[in-house]
Amino acid sequence: MSRFGFASTADEVLEGKDLSGRTILVTGGYSGLGQETARALAAKGAHVILSGRDATKLSAAADEVATMTGARVDTLVCDLASLASIRAAGEEARERFAHIDVLINNAGVMAAPPGRTADGFETQFGTNHLGHFALTRELMPLIEKGSAQRIVNLSSRGHHLDRVDFYDPNYRNRDYDKWKAYGQSKTANVLFTRGLEDRFGGQGIHAYAVHPGGIQTNLGRHMSEQDRDWIADRMRKQAEESTEHSPQGWKTIPQGAATTVWAATAEELEARGGLYAEDCHVAAIDDANPVGGVRSYALDRGNADRLWALSEDLTGAKFPA
């Protein structure tokens, strides 16, 4: 059982660790959880690569993290809403970097209005899942050259909101619901984790899905005050309905980054993956708990295989057999 929990911070989780020689790429690394994750890892000696779509913001964030930690910080421009950008980023990464030991797929959008990526995918499914699916494929040659490799996919308790609609994942034939679309994308993040573990765990590349907790960052830039009130009310009602007495509510950004760095470094996770973590521990499979756990449909092998085939077909990103 992990000695960390709801209120633990990224620095507390990493206390005493030496990450010198480790190369860690963080998507969405120039703000919020991504930047705090990068800072905490760099402070322990990791070579961090920040990735995001805005070169100016990336450069500023890299300078800030490097100044704070004294670590080597590089940047990689990549727009997860564009397959062309992802392919270009992959090519650049393979030319510039020798290996990647840990990939943290942190970037995302939440409760976005109706929209399409450059390739016509629904914005949240396209960015949160398909973009990371394609980028992970591009970076796999570098990951295979790493050591004690891990892939951490930022999911959310939002996966409780909906499953993946394999017939219409891009909302072409059904009414758009921003919260169900978000839930679908977060379920896809967990299923992708299961798919990665099934395919690469035997090679020592292990995958983890993470629920960071409720944190007020720019992830919620599309949310109205009504949306924020709805989430707060939902969290309150869930806590009242729960039989558990674990802490609930908003986390700070340092607390939100804790489970990510725990999944990326925890010794107790060595040689095991395909897991969903929350509050710095492996969550139980639970189809009823309103305030915790991972839904069984999100770790189902059949669903994971089906999503994998769909994702390869939509993106053209074919992983090695």
CATH number for the domain harbouring residue 274 = 3.40.50.720
Mean per-residue pLDDT for 184-188?
A: 98
Residue 132: predicted pLDDT: 98
Number of domains in the chain: 1
Residue 203: predicted pLDDT: 97
Is the pLDDT score of 254 beyond 60?
yes
Residue 226: predicted pLDDT: 67
pTM of the full structure: 0.92
Mean per-residue pLDDT for 63-84?
A: 98
Residues in the chain: 321
Is the pLDDT score of 305 beyond 70?
yes
Residue 214: predicted pLDDT: 86
Mean per-residue pLDDT for 65-75?
A: 97
Instruction: Evaluate whether residue 161 is within a structural domain.
Output: yes
182 is a catalytic site residue: yes
**H helix and E strand count, the chain:** 11, 10
Instruction: Evaluate whether residue 203 is within a structural domain.
Output: yes
Mean per-residue pLDDT for 241-246?
A: 52
Residue 197: predicted pLDDT: 98
155 is a catalytic site residue: yes
Give the residue among 213, 215, 216, 197 at the shortest CA–CA distance from 205. Answer: 197
Is the pLDDT score of 228 beyond 60?
no
Quote the mean pLDDT of the chain.
Answer: 93
Instruction: Evaluate whether residue 4 is within a structural domain.
Output: no
Instruction: Evaluate whether residue 129 is within a structural domain.
Output: yes
Catalytically annotated residue among 30, 171, 182, 276? 182
Sequence-ordered strand ranges (E) for the chain: 23-27, 47-52, 73-77, 102-105, 150-154, 206-211, 214-215, 250-251, 275-278, 281-282
Is the pLDDT score of 243 beyond 60?
no
pLDDT category at 208 given cuts 50, 70, 90 is very high
Catalytically annotated residue among 155, 156, 185, 311? 155
Residue 227: predicted pLDDT: 62
Give me the helices (H) in 201-273, please: 225-241, 253-256, 258-265
Domain range for 160 is 10-312
Is the pLDDT score of 63 beyond 70?
yes
Mean per-residue pLDDT for 7-31?
A: 97
Instruction: Evaluate whether residue 321 is within a structural domain.
Output: no
Name which of 191-205, 228-242, 275-289, 300-314 the model is least confident about. 228-242
Residue 291: predicted pLDDT: 86
Q: Mention every residue, 6+ apart, whose C-beta is less than 8 A from residue 279.
A: 4, 5, 6, 8, 213, 246, 259, 292
Instruction: Evaluate whether residue 241 is within a structural domain.
Output: yes
Instruction: Evaluate whether residue 1 is within a structural domain.
Output: no
Residue 249: predicted pLDDT: 74
Instruction: Evaluate whether residue 319 is within a structural domain.
Output: no
88 or 223, greater pLDDT: 88
